[in-house]
């Protein structure tokens, strides 16, 4: 048993009801698909000489034309609606106010800031760290295109809001990482604005005795990736990020264990580490190598890759499972520098790419009748945005180095990958059977009943009086549209038959999340800045 607790309890100021009308399942049960293998090979007519075309889309897909620059700006603005803490003077989402200003006080640490990951008022460390990594990667690959759209400064501000918090969480105490603020079960029994919160703000941590290699290594990845972004614009901050990333990775690697085991029901079933922690260790080492160019990290990858999942193919990339993203990232080293030890990662990246290409000999994916990549019913668009980002990033790596992918007898080039990604992005923006944009505030028709407390309740400016734990449920169950538009939020999206219920209670489809938006930022930057 540990000699000290892995959490600090902050007593709530109100008494909670023994029962609550908030009866649906926790809004974070987004378990990635484990070894799902679909043999959808009867797709006649999909082979073309030297070219693969994604032909599962709605008939009008080729006619789409979207304001990608506008969508990019909105996708970044969304993060301001998710901010926790003391809001800055230049806050643009004005219906939000300051919140959770005493976070960490029960442990005598400062954990004010960071992001609420989705539609509730909890700060979950694993998805927040992944969001940070993906925002940084988006800027690393497509930051120049963001600059051309006047959005780079906003993207960097969104990233810094995350890294500032992760630095606090990682440096408050030796061999300790603070990984969560708020007691999730109590939070999910209330429906209230973050500005009114009176639910317990318990603080949870992983330590040498209660390890969490998954969340720690992901935090290291996020800090290391961000250090690349700020290397030129803020060298001192970049150095601090990299130095902390190194320390957190060492902690993750030395004290191995899953944070799901250490924190149990606090993080499960909300954000269990279903894939374990090996994928995060390899992911974290890869980002530290990218950021530092320290050969010891390449040695670590070469020595440990086979035991950390390098030889295992997986076909989804998410806040939980980093294997595909790691292989795409490491493929860059093989394509650019011909590092022979990384050829394995290029081969496995090719396997992933081919799994998405209909008609190829390695096709594994499932698409809806309208052409949307479909992994599972809960928050499916998280897999679509992450896959789109990987397709575009890999296309960039291939195009820069004259590479291609051999999917059996079919050669797939960068242009083919861009075409597949574009159809996914266009589907999200409105080119789908429902003719609905799944980005809130974009286009003429988008979700009005978003599963999000702050958006669904009157703002503190419109309703200065406090709305308590039970008082908010009238708004949850109201048929009225959300009074505050959470501009730029990408919701969970339609089901496997392209059906979407614009219903606040259907969190599987109507809840947004930071880790859905983060890779979408990079994808939209590409299409905003690249003539098509």
- Is 451 among the residues known to form the active site? yes
Give the DSSP H or E segment for 448.
none
CA pair distance 262, 354, nearest whole angstrom? 37
Alpha carbons 232 and 251: distance in angstroms, whole number: 28
Tell me if residue 15 falls in helix, strand or coil: coil
CA 185, CA 260: separation in Å to the nearest integer? Answer: 16
Is 511 in the active site? yes
Could you give the CA distance from residue 419 to residue 53 in angstroms, rounded to a whole number? Answer: 8
Q: Are 348 and 336 in contact (CB under 8 A)?
A: no
Pairwise CA distance, residues 160 & 143, whole Å: 15
Distance, CA of 349 to CA of 334 (rounded, Å): 11
Whether the CB-CB separation of 146 and 72 falls below 8 Å is answered with yes
Task: Name the residue among 322, 288, 147, 291 with its Cα closest to residue 229.
Answer: 291
- Residue environment code for 48-77, b if the CB has 16+ CB neighbours within 10 A, otherwise e: eeeebbbebbbeebeebebebbbbbbbbbb
Cα angle: 404, vertex 409, 413; to 5 degrees: 20
How far is Cα 276 from Cα 218, in angstroms, rounded to an integer? 12
Q: How many CB atoms lie within 10 A of CB 411?
A: 14
Angle between helices 514-529 and 381-401 (to 10 degrees): 40
Q: Which of 451, 452, 495, 498 is catalytic?
A: 451
Distance in angstroms (rounded) separating the CA atoms of residues 220 and 244? 8
| Catalytic pick among 175, 302, 313, 502 | 502
DSSP readout, 146-198? HHHTT-HHHHHHHHHHHHHHHHHHHHSSTTEEEEEES-HHHHTT----GGG--
Catalytic residue among 192, 321, 498, 511: 511
How far is residue 73's CA from residue 329's CA, in Å, rounded to a whole number?
A: 26
Catalytic site positions: 451, 502, 511
């Amino acid at each position: 048993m540990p000699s000290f607790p892995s959490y600090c309890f902050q007593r709530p100021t109100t008494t909670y009801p023994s029962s609550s009308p908030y009866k649906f399942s926790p809004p974070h049960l987004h378990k990635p698909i484990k070894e799902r293998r679909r043999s959808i090979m009867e797709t006649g007519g999909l082979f073309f000489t030297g070219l693969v075309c994604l032909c599962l889309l709605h008939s009008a897909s080729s006619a789409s034309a979207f304001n990608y620059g506008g969508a990019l700006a909105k996708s970044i603005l969304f993060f301001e609606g998710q901010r926790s803490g003391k809001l800055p003077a230049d806050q643009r989402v004005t219906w939000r106010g300051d919140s959770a200003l005493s976070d960490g006080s029960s442990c005598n640490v400062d954990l004010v800031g960071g992001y609420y990951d989705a539609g509730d008022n909890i700060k979950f460390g694993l998805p927040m760290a992944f969001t940070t990594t993906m925002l940084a990667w988006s800027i690393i690959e497509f930051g120049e295109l963001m600059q051309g759209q006047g959005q780079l400064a906003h993207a960097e501000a969104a990233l810094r809001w995350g890294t500032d918090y992760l630095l606090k969480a990682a440096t408050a105490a030796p061999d300790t990482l603070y990984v969560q603020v708020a007691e999730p079960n109590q939070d999910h029994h209330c429906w209230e604005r973050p500005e009114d919160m009176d639910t317990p703000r318990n603080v949870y941590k992983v330590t040498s005795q209660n390890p969490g290699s998954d969340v720690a290594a992901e935090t290291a990845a996020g800090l290391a990736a961000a250090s690349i972004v700020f290397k030129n614009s803020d060298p001192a901050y970049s150095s601090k990020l990299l130095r902390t990333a190194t320390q957190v990775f060492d902690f993750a690697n030395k004290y191995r264990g899953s944070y799901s085991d250490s924190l149990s029901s606090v993080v499960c079933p909300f954000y269990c580490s279903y894939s374990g922690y090996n994928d995060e260790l390899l992911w974290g080492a890869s980002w530290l190598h990218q950021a530092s160019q320290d050969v010891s990290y390449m040695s670590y990858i070469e020595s440990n890759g086979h035991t950390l999942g390098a030889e295992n193919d997986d076909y989804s990339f998410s806040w939980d499972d980093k294997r595909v993203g790691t292989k795409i990232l490491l493929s860059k080293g093989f394509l650019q520098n011909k590092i022979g030890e990384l050829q394995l990662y290029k081969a496995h990246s090719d396997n992933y790419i081919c799994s998405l290409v209909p008609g190829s000999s390695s096709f594994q994916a499932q698409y809806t009748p309208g052409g949307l990549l479909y992994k599972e019913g809960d928050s499916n668009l998280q897999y679509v945005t992450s896959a789109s980002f990987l397709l575009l990033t890999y296309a960039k790596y291939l195009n820069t180095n004259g590479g291609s992918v051999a999917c059996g007898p079919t050669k797939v080039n960068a242009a083919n990958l861009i075409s597949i990604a574009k159809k996914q992005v266009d589907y999200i923006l409105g080119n789908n059977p429902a003719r609905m944009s799944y980005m809130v505030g974009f286009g003429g028709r988008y979700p009005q009943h978003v599963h999000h407390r702050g958006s669904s309740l009157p703002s503190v400016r419109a309703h200065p009086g406090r709305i308590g734990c039970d008082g908010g449920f009238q708004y949850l169950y109201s048929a009225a549209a959300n009074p505050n538009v959470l501009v730029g939020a990408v919701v969970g999206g339609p089901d496997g038959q392209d059906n979407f219920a614009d219903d606040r209670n259907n969190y599987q489809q109507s809840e947004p999340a930071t880790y859905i938006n983060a890779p979408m930022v990079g994808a939209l930057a590409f299409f905003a800045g690249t003539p098509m």
